[in-house]
Structure 1
Amino acid sequence: MNSINENGCSVCQPGKENYTTYTTKLGRKRVRMYQYDYRTESGELFSCCAPTLEACRERRDIWLSSRQ
């Protein structure tokens, strides 16, 4: 698995996004998930996990709109 963290800390650059996929088991079904980080220009970090990259970006956009 690719890591988007180094020693437990996000390596995401300001104004950029970083993500990786992983597979986990939900019940008896194996599902692909995205681990997603976004760091604002001011350095605030948003991080989430979701089944699609689009869902991660939607959550990020909601988070960003609540910050303004």
Structure 2
Amino acid sequence: MKTEMTVNGVSVCPTAEERHEYFTLALSPRRKKRLCQYDYRDADGELFSCVAPTLEECRAKRDTWLNNRNNK
């Protein structure tokens, strides 16, 4: 899969920024599913990455991740 979010399989998301792109997953010749790949790099440099059907769902997962990190 060609992506603008990675170079040699490594995320190029800058610090304190988010990036996303949509791609289509072919489950079979007739069934396809559109998904969003999402990367977010926190201000301290830690990377969060996920795949979900929509950008909104990805951001909700990111918010949960941030809340869990901040509560430790």
Fold agreement, TM-score > 0.5:
yes
- Shift of residue 39 of structure 1? 0.1
Counterpart-to-counterpart distance in 2, 1:9 and 1:41: 18
Partner Cα separation in structure 2 for residue 11 and residue 51 of structure 1: 22
Match of 1:59 among 58, 61, 66: 61
Which of these two proteins has the greater Rg computed from alpha carbons?
Answer: 2
User: What is the number of equivalent residue pairs in this alignment?
Assistant: 68
RMSD between aligned alpha carbons? 1.3
- Cα distance in 1 for partners of 2:48, 2:4 equals 16
The TM-score, its normalising length taken from structure 2, stands at 0.86
Note if 1:6 corresponds to 2:7.
Answer: yes
Which runs of 5 or more structure 2 residues have no equivalent in the other structure? none
| Structure 1: runs of 5 or more not aligned | none
Identity value in percent: 49
